[in-house]
Amino acid sequence: MSFLIAPSLLSSDFSQLKKEVQALERAGADWIHLDIMDSHFVPQLTFGPPMLKSLRVHCQLPFDVHLMVEKPDRLISPFQKAGANSISFHIESCEDPKALIQKIKSFNLKVGLSLKPNTPIEESFPFLKDLDLVLVMTVEPGAGGQTFLEHQAEKVLTLREKLNSLNYKTLIQVDGGINPDTAKKVLQADVLVSGSYILKSKDYKKSISQLKQI
């Protein structure tokens, strides 16, 4: 079984976003990963629902929204209306993850819980039953092009064992510093997010298929 590949638009040419999503779709991407940063939860500021809405008509792939924001509950409805298919939020950004999970599901969206590198994977365990995916960060959230944090790979293994023991189909998504070498360290994952490796390559099709073949 090969990984699903979710290229992150964070490393794309922002002046050519329509062309970028079309090229990624032609190149065999499975999902489009959209990194939403608010300049509070992380220092950087990226884009919001209107941009997603503009791209929605140019691409059939699922739009996978990764919220790196404070007060994520305020953005669920706007992103659903703009055409998101899944929304992941950070456990560190939210006082009542259970309620937010239910809210996202009530909008008929897939729901993911994301964990920063310093957050133990066990903190996701009480919520696994209701989650479609767990997003394990293998860099500090906030920027593309960082180096994969090796010790995070262990969290993926622990999560896989837990999901197997419960017989849950929750997907494991890994995000940060993914390339063909680091992907080999997270073989128990289902979905690889990759920004700079794919988007800074000359041949998206080749780099996506390299990641799928691992």
What does the binding site for Zn ion look like in residue numbers (CB under 5 A)? Answer: 35, 66, 175
Name every residue whose Cβ is closer than 8 Å to that of residue 177 and which is 6 or more positions away in sequence.
138, 139, 146, 147, 148, 149
Tell me whether residue 175 is one of the annotated catalytic residues: yes
Among the listed residues 30, 38, 64, 175, the single catalytic one is: 175
- Binding residues for ligand DX5 restricted to 58-87, rule: CB under 6 A: 66
Cβ nearer to ligand DX5, comparing 97 with 144: 144
Residue 210 interacts with ligand DX5 (CB under 6 A): yes or no: no
**Nearest by Cα to 161 from 123, 125, 129:** 125
Give Cα separations from 114 to 13, 37, 189, 212 (angstroms): 26, 14, 14, 23
Out of 5, 8, 31, 52, the only residue in the binding site for ligand DX5 (CB under 6 A) is: 8
> Is-catalytic flag, 35?
yes
Residue with tokens 């190149």: 27
For residue 196, the partner it binds in Zn ion, ligand DX5, none, with Cβ less than 5 to 8 A by kind, is ligand DX5
Q: Which of 35, 38, 64, 190 is catalytic?
A: 35
Reduced to 3 DSSP states, what percent helix, strand and coil does the chain have, rounded to the nearest 5?
A: 45, 20, 35
Residues lying near ligand DX5 in the complex (CB under 6 A) are found at 8, 10-11, 33, 35, 66, 139, 141-146, 175-178, 193-197
